[in-house]
Structure 1
Amino acid sequence: MKANQRIEKKVQEVASLLIPLHERLLLVPNVTVAEIVPVTQVTAIQDAPEWYLGNCVWREQTIPLLSLEALNGDARPSFNNRSRFAVFNTTGLHESLPFIALLTQGIPRLARVNEEEISEREDMDNKPFELMHVSWAGEEAIIPDVAALERHFLDYLHL
């Protein structure tokens, strides 16, 4: 193959997860999420903002647990018997923060997202930590802004 030739392959579908929050769904590519884990002990942080639920331990690492709902100005969700932690891979803005966790309100479902089934919802305004509202296969979902979550938490830590 010559150096100036390009091989283009159209992605047919993206393996994704639909993650339930309080009264909404997140839609994220599988590679964004390191693991979905059952709720474990959360260590509260004194004088933390409402959106910082505390720290949890995952694979022998201390991970900050955040509430996307509270970050976006909505009520802080409560823990329930279906709650899970969604451990997200960060974008690498700071080596001290390889992961963040979000509190979910149920068990995520697998989703195979393709171009024909997804569309942007232009009738919805994005909140600060939302990249986009979408319709996918008859469901409404939010694509979160993981980089903004990471930046906001690092700003809180003054890093």
Structure 2
Amino acid sequence: MRAQQHIESDQYREVASLLVPLAEKQLLMPNVTVAEIVPMGQISPIEGAPDWLLGEFTWRELSVPLLSFEVINGHGRPALTGRCRVAVLNTTGLSDSLGFIALLTQGLPRLARVTPEEIAERQGASCDPYDEMVVSWAGETAIIPSVARLEQAYLDFCG
């Protein structure tokens, strides 16, 4: 199974991860992917931005693009409520000028200790364009997002 192959090695039998709630789904990401979860703050709109690019917000004196994972995948825009948080993600290095991107979340994440025995790719589950994989972990369904594709979408918009 692909999901197991990603985390199985002689050195690592467990990956510290976060289950991050979205409007109707949840993301599963290794802790090293998530720089920080912060409260929703002031969002500055970006002129001419696609619907999935909600704007930019200031995090640690940096301007970080805020994306909606639901919208970029062709789903409806989630509500902005008091439960919303922002997941600031470390980028994969596609561009030296883009150190972080952020995703709008619908609440606080939960810690997850992912082991090969507890995770499996959901056979037959349909992936959206920015999903790396749909998995079952400890009886729950989660999406592993493609951070590199999210980065590339933003970089393509910036031209």
TM class by shorter-chain length? over 0.9
Deviation at 1:155, TM superposition (A): 0.6
TM-score (norm 1): 0.93
User: Secondary structure of 2:135's partner?
Assistant: strand
Shift of 1:101: 0.3
Q: Which SS does the other structure have where 1:43 is aligned? A: coil
Which residue of structure 2 aligns with residue 138 of structure 1?
139
Post-superposition Cα deviations, 1:13-49, rounded to whole Å, max 9, x if no partner, equal 0000000001100000000000000001000112211
Measure, in 2, the Cα distance between the counterparts of 1:49 and 1:12.
40
Hey, what does 1:91 align to over in structure 2?
92
After superposition, the C-alpha distances for 1:87-140 in whole angstroms (9 at most, x for unaligned) are 000011111110000000010000000000000001211111000000000110
Q: Which residue type is aligned with residue 135 of structure 1?
A: S
Q: Distance in 2 between matches of 1:81 and 1:123?
A: 35
Following the alignment from structure 2 to structure 1, what is the Cα–Cα distance between the partners of residues 128 and 35? 24
CA contact 2:17–2:28 (8 Å) conserved in 1:
yes
Q: What is the distance in 1 between the residues matched to 2:110 and 2:53?
A: 25
- Report the RMSD for the aligned CA atoms in angstroms: 0.9
* Superposition pairs of residues 4-153 of structure 1, within 5 angstroms: 9-153=10-154
For 1:3, the equivalent position in structure 2 comes to: none
C-alpha distance in 2, partners of 1:61/1:85? 14
How much does 1:58 deviate?
0.2
Whole-angstrom distance in 2 between the partners of 1:90 and 1:78: 25
- 3-state DSSP class of the match of 1:123? coil
What amino acid maps onto 1:49 in structure 2? P
Q: Which runs of 4+ in 1 moved over 4 A?
A: none
SS in 1 for 2:50: coil
The one-letter amino acid of 1:148's match is: R
| CA–CA distance in structure 2, aligned partners of residues 153 and 47 of structure 1 | 13
Counterparts of 1:122 and 1:145, CA distance in 2: 18
SS at match of 1:26: strand
2:10 and 2:119 map into 1 onto residues whose CA distance is: 19
TM-score computed with the length of structure 2 as normaliser: 0.93
Task: Provide structure 2 residue ranges, at least 5 long, that are not aligned to the other structure.
Answer: 1-8
